[in-house]
Amino acid sequence: MGTSLAVLVLTCVAFLTTDYIVNGKNLSQTLITRAGIIAANSTAPLATHNGEDAAIILSSLRLDPHIVAACMYDSDGRIIAKYPLSAPNEVFPGSPERQGHRFEKSHFIVFEPILQGNRWLGTVFLKSDLTELNDRFQLYSIILIMIVVASLAVSYGLSVRFQKDISGPIRDLAETARSIAIQNDYTLRARIRGTEEVGLLADSFNNMLDQIQHRDSSLQKINEALQKAEERFKSTLDHMLEGCQIIGFDWRYIYINEAAQKQNRRSKEELLGNRYMDMWPGIEATTVFGILKRCMEERIPDHMENEFTFPDGAAGWYDLSIQPVPEGVFILSEDITKRKHLEDERVELQKRLQFQTLFESVPGLFLVLKPDLSIVGASDAYLNATKTKREEIAGRGLFEVFPDNPNDPTADGVSNLRSSLERVLKNRVADTMALQKYDIRRPESEGGGFEERYWSPVNSPVLGAEGEIEYIIHRVEDVTEFVRQKQSKAAKENDPSGLQAKMEKMEAEIFSRSQELQEMNGKLHAANDELVKRNIENQESEQRIQNLNADLTLRASQLEVVNKELEAFSYSVSHDLRAPLRHIDGFADLLRKHTAGKLDEKGQRFLTTISDSAKQMGVLIDELLVFSRMGRTEMRAAKIDLGRLVKESIDALSEDTLGRDVRWNIGALPHVEADEAMLRLVFQNLLGNAVKYTRNCKKTEIEIGCTAKANEHEFFVRDNGAGFDMQYADKLFGVFQRLHRSDEFEGTGIGLANVRRIIQRHGGRTWAEGKINEGAVFYFSLPEHQHDDD
Amino acid sequence: MNGFKRILLMEDNPKDVELTLAALDEHNLANEVVVVRDGAEGLDYLYMRGQFQMRASGNPAVILLDLKMPKVDGLEVLRQVKSDSGLKTIPVVMLTSSREEKDLVLSYSLGVNAYVVKPVDFQEFLNAVKELGIFWAIINEPPKDSA
């Protein structure tokens, strides 16, 4: 409102000012004119100094009420006439100015000269008041002020209305928007009031807020769901029995769960945020690091069983699964130390079992005792002799199983045996017992009770690694029959010394036998240790093999990639090189047609050279492609009838041998294992060469044959053509190498290089002999069997 | 039958276009050859859309198709043509860069039935169209130096 007021006021002021000025101008103009008229009419009275006439003229001024005074001056400056007649002389200026007009305080005065031709006769003086001007000014001012006031009123009235209907609601809307922005509260809504349009605006605004609120709440829900999912995920990982770790691309620990912390024997506070290699110095030299690196850099997952040695020397086995994840690498680790130990134990046990079975079936009666005299083993023979079963006695005390015969008051088996065993324990050497009566229990199925038995025992110790007694072997000879016989014999003849000697002899024998047994036992132990050592070495070798395999696989796949790239490269090179070639050839051809007749012989030759060169290059490209492919294509070995292959190659050369006297001598050719397409190329090349280089012969003779050598077939192709200088024989098979100029015999120099490559890939060799103008022989060998290692 | 003598040549390399037209021109066929510079234009022509909306109606008698073109390549055009009921009767001659490329194209069993190695030698072109059995649809007079 202030603006409009200012504008209005300014307009009014401008209008007033303009009006005043214009009016003023008009007024002055009018008066000047009047003065002029008077002056023009006053020449006569002034010339005649007629004051009365002059006064009459002046009196006409009474028609203009605003002229308050006027007078005429003569040439001397004296007043000769006045208007009004009654005016005193003081009202007029004393002396007239020549000519001029101006506004004075409240009057306008004019001096106008009275001229007759060039003679200045006098001056007219007019004085007018400015009431007209002022009245008008006042009037307009009042009108304008009224207008301004009215406008103000209307303007105010309207503004009040707008306020109510438009700016109020709009301001509310703005306020609401601001509150929403500040408080981030999308549940606020604008109040709908005011005019239709504003109401519509508020309505749309509210709709928009509905949408926003809706979106906002969905967003919140999604965020919550995301957070929950993340927590669930984290919680799952947290509680897994297997260890979970996540290592970032910068090799710092991002996450590690409880299980992994236990396995690593370090807390997550120690590890998180730190670099893997800083936490485990020396880890970079290990296989597991290599795998981690591969996964980190090439995103290749892997799996391995790894034995990890802690700084304090302890070691554990872990089954590691290593996966690439968006943050870096994820390691799933399972502690399989126990499993490994169990496996080792099982292996150990199996070995023991084998020994045990061996041991138990050995002829000879013995018991194996622990130092506490409990039974840990017995041979089958012993069990038979004592009528016991293994499961009855194993693990039980010796004397519990074999007590004295309670019915025999003189039984001293237990005490003697115990003494002997104690001697062994103390002295750690074998102890031979004297002949001992020691009755055995008869099993219930046979009637129960005890049976008489005589034994000759030797007890010997088995020492462990540190010299302590691990076992005692109780070896016996059942001498019951012998004793009975002796007893019955002794009853017939009283020969104590004979008996004694025999007894001693037997004792000695028994003793030496038990010595042997001890020795054997020692050897068995040594053998066992050896086996254990071998096993460990095997494990290490296996690991090394695994690593090598992994390396090889990697290399192989890298090679494949390189091969594929080479294939793509040579294909696209050949393709792209061909385009300009055929353009050269094609346009040279067109040029030839275009200039037929107009071009001289030299010109024609130039054109032909261009075309030929382009064609030559095309051939080179093709051959180079073939050559490169020969080195990379997979070989497909099959049994091939070489005789047939050679015949087919000769047929293919029929065009080149047309009209020539060519004799083919084909020897017996075996079947070989080789790649048919490649061998076909070999024969095409060698036979083609033979035909080519015998071109200048009257009679061409080409011989093809084969000699069997140890483990290989040696083939040759002989011709009677141009031959070559043996001095350069080693260049023959080189790429793009030739021994003849291209104007003698055309060629690219790739053919033989191809042949060599193919034969080499089959595991054979190529060589040649020749003499200039006396022909050449080309040899190649093929092994009898192809190995499947290509 | 006038429109049926049209040959549609799809070739992006301008030099190859010139060579082909020269070969055909020698035997009064150049007037009937429509040249497009890539597979997209070729399909526009066949479907009478885009810049070819106002062309004379009727399918061309044969399509000469370059394998490698920008935007839509030869094999893609072949696939579309052979799967469209209105277009699949048009014989298609593939242009290859070399004889061994022929093997590559053969391996795509999309109904390719004739090849011509670039540059289009007229005799070769004749052989190809003879193979397709549309000899008389194309040739309006025996060539001056036919075998």
Q: pLDDT digits over A209-263, tens only?
A: 888 888 888 888 999 988 888 888 778 888 888 999 999 999 999 999 999 998 8
Identify from A590, A611, A621, A681 which residue to disrupt to test chain B contact, counting B C-beta atoms within 10 A and taking the largest count: A590
Identify from B15, B17, B18, B96 which residue to disrupt to test chain A contact, counting A C-beta atoms within 10 A and taking the largest count: B15
Q: How far apart are CA A524 and CA A505, in angstroms?
A: 29
Subunit contact B19:A586, Cβ cutoff 8 A: yes
Q: Is a pLDDT exceeding 80 seen at residue B107? A: no
Which residues of B fall within a CB distance of 8 Å from A583?
A: 15-16, 19, 119
Subunit contact B100:A583, Cβ cutoff 8 A: no
Subunit contact A582:B22, Cβ cutoff 8 A: no
Q: Using CB atoms within 10 Å of the CB of residue A281, give its burial: 0 to 12 exposed, 13 to 18 middle, 19+ buried.
A: exposed
Provide the Cα torsion B71, B73, B79, B80; round to 10°: 40
Subunit contact B97:A586, Cβ cutoff 8 A: no
Give A660-695 pLDDT, tens digit per residue. Answer: 889 999 998 988 888 888 898 899 999 999 999 998
Provide φ and ψ at B8, rounded to 5°: -100, 115
Which residue do the tokens 């209307």 mark?
A: A154
Find the CB nearest B97 among A579, A585, A593: A579
Mean pLDDT of chain A: 85
Give A13-37 pLDDT, tens digit per residue. Answer: 888 889 888 888 888 888 888 888 8
Q: Residues A622, A627, A629, A633: is their CA dihedral positive or negative?
A: positive
Mean pLDDT of chain B: 76
Which residue do the tokens 């037209």 mark?
A: B21
Give A469-518 pLDDT, tens digit per residue. Answer: 999 999 998 888 888 877 776 666 665 666 777 777 888 888 888 888 88
Q: What is the pLDDT of residue B3?
A: 41
Min Cα separation A737/chain B (Å) = 25
Q: What is the pLDDT of residue B100?
A: 64
Q: What is the ipTM, given to two decimal places? A: 0.75
Which residue do the tokens 């691990």 mark?
A: A470
Bridge partners of A127?
Answer: A69, A109
Subunit contact A583:B101, Cβ cutoff 8 A: no
Give A312-344 pLDDT, tens digit per residue. Answer: 888 889 999 999 999 899 999 998 888 888 988
Length of chain B: 147
Q: Is a pLDDT exceeding 60 seen at residue A445? A: yes
Q: What is the pLDDT of residue B142?
A: 43
Q: Is a pLDDT exceeding 90 seen at residue B92? A: no
Buried b or exposed e, range B34-56, using 16+ CB within 10 angstroms? bbbbbbbbbbbbbeeeeebeeee
Q: How far apart are CA B39 and CA B72, in angstroms?
A: 4
Which residues of A fall within a CB distance of 8 Å from B101?
A: 575
Q: Tokens in use for B131?
A: 């193979």
Subunit contact B119:A586, Cβ cutoff 8 A: yes
**B111 — pLDDT class (breaks 50, 70, 90):** low
Q: Is a pLDDT exceeding 50 seen at residue A435? A: yes
Provide φ and ψ at B112, rounded to 5°: -75, 130
Spell out where A183-301 has E strands: 243-248, 253-256
Give how far Cα A101 sits from Cα of A42, A73, A110, A120, Å: 19, 16, 4, 18
Give A689-735 pLDDT, tens digit per residue. Answer: 999 999 888 899 999 999 988 888 999 999 999 888 888 888 888 77
Q: Least CA distance to A577: which residue of chain B?
A: B97
**A461 — pLDDT class (breaks 50, 70, 90):** very high
Q: How far apart are CA B82 and CA B77, in angstroms?
A: 8
Q: What is the pLDDT of residue B145?
A: 41
Give A558-601 pLDDT, tens digit per residue. Answer: 988 887 787 777 777 777 788 888 888 888 888 888 887 888 88
Q: Are B82 and B52 in contact (CB under 8 A)?
A: no
**A158 — pLDDT class (breaks 50, 70, 90):** confident
Q: What is the pLDDT of residue A531?
A: 93
Q: What is the pLDDT of residue A1?
A: 66
Alpha helices (H) in A91-130, listed in sequence order: none
Distant-in-sequence, close-in-space partners of A699: CB < 8 Å, separation ≥ 6:
A661, A663, A720
Q: Least CA distance to B96: which residue of chain A?
A: A575
Q: What is the pLDDT of residue A547?
A: 93
Distant-in-sequence, close-in-space partners of A620: CB < 8 Å, separation ≥ 6:
A748, A750
Give me the mean pLDDT over the B31-38 stretch. 85
DSSP secondary structure string for all residues of A580-604? HHHHHHHHHHHHHHHTTTTS-HHHH
Q: What is the pLDDT of residue A474?
A: 93
**B139 — pLDDT class (breaks 50, 70, 90):** low
Q: Using CB atoms within 10 Å of the CB of residue A148, give its burial: 0 to 12 exposed, 13 to 18 middle, 19+ buried.
A: middle
Bridge partners of A115?
Answer: A120
Q: Tokens in use for A26?
A: 């008009």
Subunit contact A582:B19, Cβ cutoff 8 A: yes
Q: Are A458 and A430 in contact (CB under 8 A)?
A: yes
Q: Least CA distance to A621: which residue of chain B?
A: B98
Give A335-386 pLDDT, tens digit per residue. Answer: 888 888 898 899 999 988 888 888 888 888 989 999 999 999 899 999 999 9
Min Cα separation A621/chain B (Å) = 11
Subunit contact B100:A590, Cβ cutoff 8 A: no
Q: Is a pLDDT exceeding 60 seen at residue A183? A: yes
Provide φ and ψ at A331, rounded to 5°: -115, 120
Subunit contact A583:B15, Cβ cutoff 8 A: yes
Find the CB nearest A622 among B13, B68, B98: B98
**A742 — pLDDT class (breaks 50, 70, 90):** low
Q: Least CA distance to A594: which residue of chain B?
A: B22
Q: Least CA distance to A626: which residue of chain B?
A: B100
Find the CB nearest B13 among A579, A593, A622: A579
Q: Least CA distance to A580: which residue of chain B?
A: B15
Least confidently predicted of A23-27, A409-413, A429-433, B128-132 = B128-132
Find the CB nearest B97 among A575, A585, A590: A575
- Report helix, strand and coil shares of chain A as percent, to nearest 5: 55, 20, 25
Q: How far apart are CA A643 and CA A761, in angstroms?
A: 21
Give A525-561 pLDDT, tens digit per residue. Answer: 889 889 999 999 999 999 999 999 999 999 999 988 8
Give A80-105 pLDDT, tens digit per residue. Answer: 888 888 878 777 887 778 888 888 88
Min Cα separation B109/chain A (Å) = 21
Q: How far apart are CA A214 and CA A212, in angstroms?
A: 5
Q: How far apart are CA A563 and CA A493, in angstroms?
A: 101
Identify which of A513, A438, A515 has the alpha carbon closest to the alpha carbon of residue A479. A438
| Residues in chain A whose Cβ is within 8 Å of chain B | 574-575, 578-579, 582-583, 585-587, 590, 593, 622, 625
Task: Please give the single-letter amino acid code of residue A177.
Answer: A
Q: What is the pLDDT of residue A491?
A: 62
**DSSP code of residue B30:** G
Q: How far apart are CA A142 and CA B94, in angstroms?
A: 100
Q: Are A247 and A253 in contact (CB under 8 A)?
A: yes
Min Cα separation A610/chain B (Å) = 16
Q: How far apart are CA A173 and CA A790, in angstroms?
A: 82
Angle at A612 between CA A607 and CA A615, to 5 degrees: 130
Subunit contact B16:A579, Cβ cutoff 8 A: yes
Subunit contact A587:B16, Cβ cutoff 8 A: no
Identify from A574, A575, A595, A626 which residue to disrupt to test chain B contact, counting B C-beta atoms within 10 A and taking the largest count: A575
Buried b or exposed e, range A620-654, using 16+ CB within 10 angstroms? bbbbbbebbebeeeeeebeebebbebbeebbeebe
Q: Using CB atoms within 10 Å of the CB of residue A475, give its burial: 0 to 12 exposed, 13 to 18 middle, 19+ buried.
A: buried
Subunit contact B22:A578, Cβ cutoff 8 A: no
Distant-in-sequence, close-in-space partners of A203: CB < 8 Å, separation ≥ 6:
A192
